[in-house]
């Protein structure tokens, strides 16, 4: 996960938090978070990068709609990241 951009990491977290979301559902979630429009030219190439890295699987809901899900590797990467974050901010947040 260390080689992902912050945007790619946010994409991965967003996919993990939904049940096989399609691209527009992911886009909507990130637009709410970033409070700005996310362009297709930014969204889909970054989703493809996550697929290429084996962190996300892309499937088809129908002929026009792709759905995304986190792979086991992606889940392990998220868990490892959370452990790493907790060693730095876990006590701060608990205190």
Domains annotated for the chain, with CATH where assigned, are: 6-94 (1.10.10.10)
Its pTM stands at 0.90
Name the residue with higher pLDDT: 92 or 33: 33
The tokens for 27 are 């886009």
Give me the pLDDT at residue 5, please: 97
Distance, first Cα to last Cα, the chain: 27
Give me the pLDDT at residue 47, please: 97
Phi, psi dihedrals of residue 17, rounded to the nearest 5°? -85, 0
Taking residues 8-28, report their average pLDDT. 96
Give the integer Cα–Cα distance in Å for 75 and 45: 21
Taking residues 31-54, report their average pLDDT. 97
Give me the pLDDT at residue 95, please: 60
DSSP state at residue 54: T
Name the residue with higher pLDDT: 93 or 68: 68
Q: How many Cα atoms sit within 13 Å of 91 on the Cβ side?
A: 2
């Amino acid at each position: 996960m260390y080689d992902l951009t912050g945007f790619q990491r946010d994409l991965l977290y967003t996919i993990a938090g939904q049940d096989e979301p399609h691209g527009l559902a992911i886009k909507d979630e990130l637009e709410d978070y970033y409070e700005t429009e996310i362009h297709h030219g930014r969204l889909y190439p970054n989703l493809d990068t996550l697929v290429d890295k084996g962190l996300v699987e892309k499937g088809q809901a129908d002929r026009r709609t792709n759905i995304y899900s986190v792979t086991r590797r992606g889940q392990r990467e998220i868990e490892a990241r959370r452990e790493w974050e907790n060693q730095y901010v876990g006590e701060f947040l608990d205190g």
